[in-house]
């Protein structure tokens, strides 16, 4: 009878609402379930730790670096931690590689919600006045230009999803240049500016743009520093937390910035340095 049909429909609606409410309640604001995240240079160090942090919160992560063997290793490692992962090679300095990375995410994961621009080079140590045009071209191309050009590529895809998150990996050296790392430090200062320049424009598309500025984190990149005991002792004297940071201590900050817990934060840089500049 029509009464029975009405009764059954009403029951179905109540059940559907319950499932919907349950899903909403069981997903914490820091969950990234259903999100797709591209992380550059993510087969080692801070990039890999970021992929792990985003993946653990439910994101489908797209890992990349220049060498296929490293990509395969990272994919296997993340899969063994039950993370949904896709891998591809990408030299961020090459336009065709940047396009391939974005297309891989779109084709294999169905869209893009998060970009973490993490790749960086430092081909020069010494007095800034001794640095050459080649050094500047390389550093600015990889550390700054590629970060912007990748953002430009992903934004239309984020707009299709009605929003997204971009995070740049700068450095505390972006605020106060490290000795002997002038051009690198200046490239990291540029990322602070890029964050500020992009945030107002992309807010219109519900895309937040933030940045993280790590202190000394124990990775291959900074090995010259933390492997040198005298240098490290000197550095540690300036830290409140008397040790180098761990890659996952930056991954966690990036995951926070990409989550709804940070929904009112854009155009900002979070420093994570163990309290650098501390004087006891
Ligand atoms: N380790 C630190 O103490 C520290 C401190 C401040 C900032 N950072 C920043 O953190 C980020 C990650 O560095 P990390 O410490 O994890 O070291 P890392 O050596 O693991 O990461 C840097 C990665 O960038 C990759 N890379 C270089 N050029 C590339 C290119 N053209 N295309 C793709 N990948 C490229 C390198 O292969 C390397 O894997 C970098 O942006 C670095 O500047 C590191």
Task: Give pLDDT tens digits for 114-171.
Answer: 999 999 999 999 999 999 999 999 999 999 999 999 999 999 999 999 999 999 999 9
Percent of the chain surpassing pLDDT 70: 90
Task: Give me the pLDDT at residue 226, please.
Answer: 87
Average pLDDT, the chain: 93
Q: What is the band of 27 on the pLDDT scale with cuts at 50, 70, 90?
A: confident
Beta-ladder partners of 48: none
Q: Residue 20 pLDDT more than 50?
A: no
* ipTM entry: 0.99
Give the active site residue among 184, 202, 215, 244: 184
**Ligand 1 site, residue 154, Cβ cutoff 6 A:** no
Q: How far is CA 49 from CA 32, 131, 155, 190, in A?
A: 16, 32, 24, 24
pLDDT in tens, 224-265: 888 999 988 988 999 999 999 999 999 999 999 999 999 999
Which of 119, 143, 273 for mutating ligand 1's site (highest number of atoms within 8 Å of CB)?
A: 119
271 lines ligand 1 (CB under 6 A): no
Nearest to 91 by CA among 82, 99, 79, 103: 99
Residue 184 appears among annotated catalytic residues? yes
pTM: 0.92
Q: How far apart are alpha carbons 81 and 58 in whole angstroms? A: 12
Task: Verify whether ligand 1 is closer than 6 Å to residue 217 (CB atom).
Answer: yes
Q: Which of 14-18, 52-56, 199-203, 270-274 has the lowest mean pLDDT?
A: 14-18
């Amino acid at each position: 009878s029509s009464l029975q049909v009405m009764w059954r429909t009403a029951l179905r609606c109540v059940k559907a609402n319950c499932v919907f409410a349950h899903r909403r309640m069981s997903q914490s604001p820091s969950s990234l379930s259903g999100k797709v995240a591209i992380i550059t240079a993510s087969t080692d160090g801070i990039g890999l730790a970021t992929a792990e942090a985003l993946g653990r919160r439910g994101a489908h992560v797209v890992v990349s670096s220049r060498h296929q063997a490293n990509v395969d290793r990272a994919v296997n490692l993340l899969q063994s931690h039950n993370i949904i992962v896709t891998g591809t090679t990408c030299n961020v300095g090459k336009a065709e590689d940047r396009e391939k990375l974005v297309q891989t995410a779109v084709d294999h994961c169905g869209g893009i919600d998060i970009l973490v621009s993490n790749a960086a080079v430092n081909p020069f140590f010494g007095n800034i006045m001794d640095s050459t045009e080649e050094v500047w071209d390389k550093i600015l191309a990889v550390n700054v230009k590629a970060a912007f050009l990748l953002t430009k590529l992903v934004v239309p895809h984020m707009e299709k999803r009605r929003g997204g998150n971009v995070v740049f990996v700068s450095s505390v050296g972006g605020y106060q240049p490290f000795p002997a790392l002038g051009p690198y430090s200046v490239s990291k200062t540029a990322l602070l500016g890029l964050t500020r320049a992009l945030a107002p424009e992309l807010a219109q598309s519900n895309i937040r743009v933030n940045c993280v500025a790590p202190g000394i984190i124990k990775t291959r990149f900074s090995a010259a520093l933390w492997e040198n005991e005298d240098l490290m002792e000197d550095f540690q004297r300036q830290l409140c937390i008397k040790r180098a940071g761990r890659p996952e201590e930056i991954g966690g900050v990036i995951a926070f910035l990409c989550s709804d817990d940070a929904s009112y934060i854009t155009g900002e840089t979070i420093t994570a340095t163990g309290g650098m500049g501390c004087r006891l």
